[in-house]
Structures are given as C-alpha cells and as structure tokens.
C-alpha cells in the first residue's frame, strides 16, 4: 500500500544528514561535555557548534541559546520563568485563545497561583486584533506570549508588530515559534522577541530536543534546577547526539528555506485547489494568505474529522484532525472553537501538513481518493440528510452518542 505522510506539523521524519551527524555521538563520542578529560573534550565542541548553527538560523548570538528537551519545556520555561522572576513587578500575562496546549495549560496553571491571564480572541480567519492586544496591556502586564505560527491552521501572526507593541509598553515578549522555524524566515532581532522556542522534531531533527532563545540580559528563573549546564539556565546532562542533530537540521533549514518554501507551497496550493474544485461544501480554516506554506486545514461539512482520518489511513494517508495532542478526545479543537467555526464544521476539520518528502504524485493520489471518501461518509451522515441545517451543540451531542 502507498504510504503518504501529510502530518508534518505533528512531527517530521529525521533527515538522513541529521542521523548521520548524530551517529558518532552514540558510538565513540559518548563523553559528558561538562567533563574536563578527553572524553568530555571530544564532545563539547560539537555542542557549541550546534549552538552556533541554531543561533544563526534565528539571528541571535550563540550565548543566547539554551538547549532544552522539547518545545513544551521551552514554553513552560519561558512563561513560568518569567512569572517567577517578574512577580514583584506584576501578575498579568497576555496570550491568545489559539496557542498550543504547552502555552495554554501553562497559563492555566499560573492562574491557579494567582496570576491573571488575558486570552485574546481571534476572528473567523483565526487572526488577532492588535488594538485589542494593546488595550489589554496594563501596568501589571509582565509577559505577552503569542505564537509565531499556529500549528492547526498554519496562520502566521504579525510578530514584528506584536514585538513593537511589547517594546513600546516595555513588556517582555515570548513567542512559540515551533511551527514557524524552518518554514518561514525567523529573525529574533527584527521581531523584537525576548524569548523564543523551537523544537527539533518539527524540523527534521529527533524528538526530545529543542532550543530556547533568551535575549541577553533577560532575567529568567530556571525550570530545571541542578548542575551548572547551560550557564545555569538549564540543568541536566546535555543530550549530545540530539543537540548535534538539531544543529544540522537548523543549518539545512536555513540553507534550503527559500527553495523549500516555494516547492511546498506549490504542492499545498495544488492540494487546496484540487479539493475545492472537486468537493462541494468545503471550508478553509485559517487565513487564505497569511499562512505557513505547508499547511491546509479544511472542514468537510457534515462528516466527522475522525472518520475521515480513519478512511484516509486505510488508503495509507496520514493527516490529522485537531492537534495530535487532543486526538483521543471527541471535543472539537480549541482553535476551531476560538474561530467560531460552527460545531458541525469544527468536527470535520482536517489538517494536511506537507513536508520535504511529499511529491506531486502524493498530492494527486490524495485528490483521487479523497472525493469518493467524503461523498460516502456524507451519505452515511445523519447531518447531511438534514439538508445542511446547522445543528445546535445539544443536537450534535445526541448525534454523537447514537
Ligand atoms: C509541537 C508543538 C509544540 C510542542 O513541541 P514538543 O517538542 O512536541 O514539546 C509547541 N508548540 C507548537 C506550536 C507545536 O506545534
């Protein structure tokens, strides 16, 4: 059976060049980079080289990069660390309703400790109102945490304008750039970002490694206390092979980005156009233009995203509905909810996130198998037979239980 992977916003395959670069650090170069002897000395330059590679991709200096275990850790570190270090200054945080759970649930946890959080809404295209952001700032605001690009819709937020607003009001700005890095240019200077998070497994490095950019001079309480690694910013023995892999992935991403952007966008646009041409009653979720080049999120009215995914899976196609972190729950995605997509459409939202390995044949295969699947599921759907009249939430619950 064909296997087509279009779920690259959930994770990516490790790139062969990345794996090759990592292997010696599993085999002969096993030392602890904090050790002064030969075994440590053999690996510490590799960690520092990776730090340079990551820094170059986002235009900062190597000393501002801290290696972490994953994007979620970085978001926790940035937000909880800021809350702890600036709590004497204020207790107010501004974020959005469409952040990744690593940000949303961290903010929720802080609310239990007495912090106040403003969750900015988005419009029907999933975009923010920057006036609302500026109005939300008070003299107690210590942090603005807004993602660079959304994992579900691919929407790109205007980070440079957000950074300017943050600067004007002297508020710290954290951005979860896990989806942006490697797909679009990310420049922490131009964007006026103080804290930025990226994750290896979204850009062809392994799972379990990431980086946190901390602008020089930013006071940030560590999340993990212990040894003196990472200039006391993050304790724990370095995950040397993964750090080496992350460095190579960042270098490749930087070198290939422009070409990659054009190629992926052409494939995504072909998929998008094909779906809209062939399938009636489809809705695009997200902004038509201000979107990552690889992401397509669409709702196929009247059917369940989950049943669509299972049918795709039977044809070898891997896509996703909602984010992988919420699959397993029957609630529609919080991002779709925030965009006021009606319940029927929210339940049928499906995300295709393309990657470097996808080809035009992959897209054409999806376009061949998708329309009949949608048609068959619609014919089975109790919603479809209602003639398109939107269901209320209650009705939707009843339909689901049957
Ligand atoms: C995947 C993702 C994360 C979490 O990164 P992990 O390395 O899996 O912890 C955070 N934010 C966004 C936007 C993501 O897509």
Per-residue pLDDT of the chain (402 residues; tens, 9 = 90+): 899 999 999 999 999 999 999 999 999 999 999 999 999 999 999 999 999 999 999 999 999 999 999 999 999 999 999 999 999 999 999 999 999 999 999 999 999 999 999 999 999 999 999 999 999 999 999 999 999 999 999 999 999 999 999 999 999 999 999 999 999 999 999 999 999 999 999 999 999 999 999 999 999 999 999 999 999 999 999 999 999 999 999 999 999 999 999 999 999 999 999 999 999 999 999 999 999 999 999 999 989 889 999 999 999 999 998 644 445 555 778 998 888 777 778 888 999 999 999 999 999 999 999 999 999 999 988 777 665 555 554 554 444 433
How many Cα atoms within 13 Å fall on the side-chain side of residue 384? Answer: 16
Helices (H), 92-228: 101-112, 130-136, 159-168, 188-191
246 and 303 part of one domain = no
Residues 196 and 322 in one domain: no
> Which residues form the catalytic set?
325
State the distance from the centre of ligand 1 to the C-alpha of 31, rounded, in angstroms: 29
The CA distance from 242 to 234, in Å, is: 16
Strand bridging mode 349-353 / 295-300: antiparallel
Q: Using CA positions, which residue lies closest to atom 15 of ligand 1? A: 151
* CB 147 near ligand 1, within 6 Å: yes
151 CA to centre of ligand 1 in angstroms: 8
Q: Provide the domain limits for residue 296.
A: 4-9+257-401
Q: 371 CB contacts (<8 Å, ≥6 apart)?
A: 278, 279
> What is the Cα–Cα distance from 314 to 2, expressed in whole angstroms?
10
Asked if residue 202 has its Cβ within 6 Å of ligand 1, the reply is: yes
Question: Would the CB of 102 count as within 6 Å of ligand 1?
Answer: yes
On the CB side of 83, how many CA atoms lie within 13 Å of its CA?
Answer: 25
264 and 191 share one domain? no
Q: Which two tokens stand for residue 349?
A: 């939202």
253, 283, 302: which is the final residue of a domain?
A: 253
Residue nearest to atom 6 of ligand 1 (CA): 71
In a shared domain, residues 152 and 86: yes
Task: In whole angstroms, give the CA distance from residue 209 to residue 200.
Answer: 5
334 lines ligand 1 (CB under 6 A): no
Taking phi first (over 0 means left), then psi (-120 to 50 degrees means alpha), and beta for anything else, what does residue 263 get? Answer: alpha
Residues 162 and 285 in one domain: no
Do 237 and 353 lie in one domain? The reply is no
Do 198 and 302 have their domain in common? no
The model's pTM is 0.94
Nearest CA to ligand 1 atom 8: 71
Calpha distance 371→373 (Å, rounded): 5
Question: What CATH number is associated with residue 177?
Answer: 3.40.640.10
């Amino acid at each position: 059976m064909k296997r087509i992977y279009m779920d690259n916003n959930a994770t990516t395959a490790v790139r062969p060049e990345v794996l090759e670069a990592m292997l010696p650090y599993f085999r002969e170069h096993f030392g602890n980079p904090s050790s002064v002897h030969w075994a440590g000395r053999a690996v510490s330059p590799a960690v520092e080289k990776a730090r340079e590679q990551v820094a170059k991709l986002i235009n900062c200096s190597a000393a501002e990069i801290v290696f972490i275990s994953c994007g979620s850790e970085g978001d926790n570190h940035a937000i909880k660390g800021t809350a702890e270090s600036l709590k004497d200054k204020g207790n107010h945080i501004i974020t959005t309703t469409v952040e990744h759970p690593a940000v949303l649930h961290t903010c929720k946890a802080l609310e239990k400790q007495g912090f106040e959080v403003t969750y900015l809404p988005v419009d029907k295209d999933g975009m923010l109102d920057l006036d609302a952001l500026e109005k939300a700032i008070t003299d107690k605001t210590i942090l603005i945490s807004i993602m660079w690009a959304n994992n579900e819709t691919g929407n790109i937020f205007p980070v440079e304008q957000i950074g300017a607003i943050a600067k004007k009001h002297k508020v710290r700005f954290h951005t979860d750039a896990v989806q942006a890095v490697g797909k679009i240019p990310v420049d922490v200077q131009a964007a006026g970002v103080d804290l930025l998070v990226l994750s290896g497994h979204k850009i062809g490095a392994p799972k379990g490694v990431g980086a946190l950019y901390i602008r020089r001079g930013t006071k940030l309480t560590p999340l993990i206390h212990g040894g003196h690694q990472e200039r006391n910013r993050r304790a724990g023995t370095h995950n040397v092979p993964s750090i080496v892999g992350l460095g190579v992935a960042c270098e490749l991403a930087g070198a290939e980005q422009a070409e990659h952007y054009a190629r992926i966008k052409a494939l995504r646009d072909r998929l998008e156009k094909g779906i809209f041409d062939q399938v009636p009653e489809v809705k695009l979720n997200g902004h038509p233009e201000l979107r990552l080049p690889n992401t397509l999120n669409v709702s196929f009215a009247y059917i369940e995203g989950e049943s669509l995914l299972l049918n795709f899976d039977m044809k070898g196609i891997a896509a996703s509905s909602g984010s992988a972190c919420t699959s397993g729950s029957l609630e529609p995605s919080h991002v779709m909810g925030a965009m006021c997509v009606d319940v029927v459409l929210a339940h049928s939202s499906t995300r295709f996130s393309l990657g470097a390995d996808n080809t035009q044949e992959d897209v054409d295969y999806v376009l061949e198998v998708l329309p009949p699947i949608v048609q068959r599921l619609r014919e089975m759907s109790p919603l479809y037979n209602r003639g398109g009249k939107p269901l209320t939430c209650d009705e939707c619950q009843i339909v689901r239980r049957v």
